Amino acid sequence: MAASLRNFIDGEWRKGIQESPVRSPYTGGIVANVSIASAGDVDDAIAAASNAFPVMRKTPGYVRSQLLRDLCDRLGRRSAELAQSIVDEAGKPIKDARVEVRRALTVLAISAEEAKRIGGELLPFDHSEASVGKIGVTSRFPIGPVAAITPFNFPINLAMHKIGPALACGATVVWKPSLLTPGASTIFAEVFEEVVSHAGIPPGALNVVTPRDKDAEMLACDPRIKVLSFTGSARVGWALRERAGTKKVTLELGGNAAAIVAGDADLEYAVRRCVAGGFGYAGQTCISVQRILIEEPVYEEFVARLVDAVAALQPGDPRAELTVVGPMISEKEAARLEEWINLAVQDGAQILVGGERSGPMFEPTVVSNVPPQSLLACAEAFGPVVTVAPFSTWRQALDMVNETPYGLQAGVFTRDINRVFEAFRTLEVGAVVVGDIPTFRDDSMPYGGVKESGSGREGVRYAIEEFTEPRLLVLNLASV
């Protein structure tokens, strides 16, 4: 019998207004039932976070650090269960699910350390006669309750990138996970319930609710929520920002990441990394390799190697240890990708390998000659497809990367340091990754995009800056 996943509000488990089935993208079978939160449940969760905030913000750093360490330890004991829930609900291959869980634990561990490092600076004011005898002291304070809205594709790690820094700085949280993958949130809430009972932390410091979208909008509109941290589609993210009023908003949205392969690159290595970045988890990451730009002298060789490598990939059961490419999250999304590819072909593009769909399973696909205005080139494919295109000059390659509305990350394969710094100065992205794919992310680094890819930065220390605000204390020592 499928488990029933309830809401967690102010330390209590609560049934919602109805249950909705959670289905395996691979088998179509029901793996759980999620309890849909009402508007009243969301309001209660916001109230709990708001009421707990005055206590949480005064909690010493060492206590917050220990809380996060305990959460990391106890969640680690349930790693296998957590990974399996990600496989069942998201269709993520089991090897990738285990990696996600390990990364989530790393984020909690980093958050535990950063909880003790939130400081400020001493400012001398003797740069003018009027300020002689005065000094300034800055410190950072949590802004208020944080609304954390997370997507289906990384149901535990992306959540920890919001919850870990929030708890580290003394904020409280209302977490709204995806209704497609709620199992991870239930496991984490259970762990939090165990830890908070002896940690001296108010139970309302973490609340988990699973409402429909219309009721989830309360998290953006309610003035008691002071920070909105959203990861998901650009359409939804920017719409929520418009409704957020004066609250602080961090948006981690979509992309159509490009990798540039110069003629001096190690082609075998670049192919291997582009295949990993383009087709792991069926390309369902916002920094998945979607566009590969190759310098003309090596274009034919690179594409031939790429096609051979992609042809060797076989979509399969995400529960199998050797599976690299599992299903897309739904048949609807796979059909959407199929339509995008067909539209590109109608406009002159060529499928070099793949292109076939069976239900939610989509063959790893490489497409060439894609027109720049095609959805496959300028929008986020979010599936197992990459496009290839040649370039003649380095500046042309950089312009090709910039010509889409997105700007999350870009990869650059070259040994030419001058080209590296020209890319760093020119590319309109949040990060330029040299010698590797744009899919690289270390959980401590500042992560985020520009243009339609979002605003603000994650990475524990940088997320803490988003969730806090500086305050200045001026001391007139001359009066002492």
Query: Could you tell me the residue ranges of all domains in the chain?
Result: 3-253+453-473, 258-442
Residue 1 reports pLDDT greater than 60: no
Tokens 């995008």 belong to residue: 340
State the amino acid at position 68 in one-letter form: L
Residue type, 126: D
Residue 326 in this model has a pLDDT that exceeds 80: yes
At 35-63, the pLDDT tens digits run 999 999 999 999 999 999 999 999 999 99
Residue 440 pLDDT > 60, yes or no?
yes
79-90 vs 183-196: helix crossing angle, rounded to 10: 150
Q: For tokens 């205005």, what's the residue?
A: 373
Which residue of the set 100, 286, 333, 458 is catalytic?
286
Catalytic hit among 89, 100, 252, 363: 252
Q: Cα–Cα distance between 303 and 323 in angstroms, integer?
A: 24
Which residue is associated with the tokens 């069976």? 358
Q: pLDDT tier at 182 (50, 70, 90 boundaries)?
A: very high
Could you tell me the pLDDT band of residue 478, with boundaries at 50, 70 and 90?
Answer: confident
Q: What is the mean pLDDT of the chain?
A: 96
Same fold, 3-253+453-473 and 258-442: no
Contacts of residue 303, Cβ cutoff 8 Å, sequence gap at least 6: 294, 352, 366, 368, 388
Query: Which of 124-133, 144-153, 292-301 has the least mean pLDDT?
Result: 124-133
pLDDT at 6: 94
Residue with tokens 């949480």: 56
Share of the chain above pLDDT 70, in %: 99
pLDDT of residue 368: 98
Segment 433-453 shows an average pLDDT of 97
Q: Helices in 20-133 by DSSP H: which ranges?
A: 39-57, 61-76, 79-90, 94-114
Q: Do 291 and 277 contact (CB within 8 A), yes or no?
A: no
Q: Judge whether 252 counts as a catalytic residue.
A: yes
- The answer to whether residue 479 scores a pLDDT higher than 80 is no
Predicted pLDDT at 199: 76
Which of the following CATH numbers is that of domain 258-442: 3.40.50.300, 1.10.8.10, 3.40.309.10, 3.30.43.10? 3.40.309.10
What percent of the chain lies above the pLDDT cut of 90?
A: 96
Confidence of residue 338 (pLDDT cuts 50, 70, 90): very high
Is 114 a catalytic site residue?
A: no
Residues 366 and 313 sit within 8 Å (Cβ to Cβ)? no
User: How far is residue 274's CA from residue 154's CA, in Å, rounded to a whole number?
Assistant: 20
Tens digit of each residue's pLDDT (9 = 90 or more) over 349-364: 999 999 999 999 999 9
Candidates 3.20.20.30, 3.40.50.1980, 3.40.50.970, 3.40.605.10; CATH matching 3-253+453-473: 3.40.605.10
Q: Quickly state the pLDDT bin for 200 (edges 50, 70, 90).
A: confident
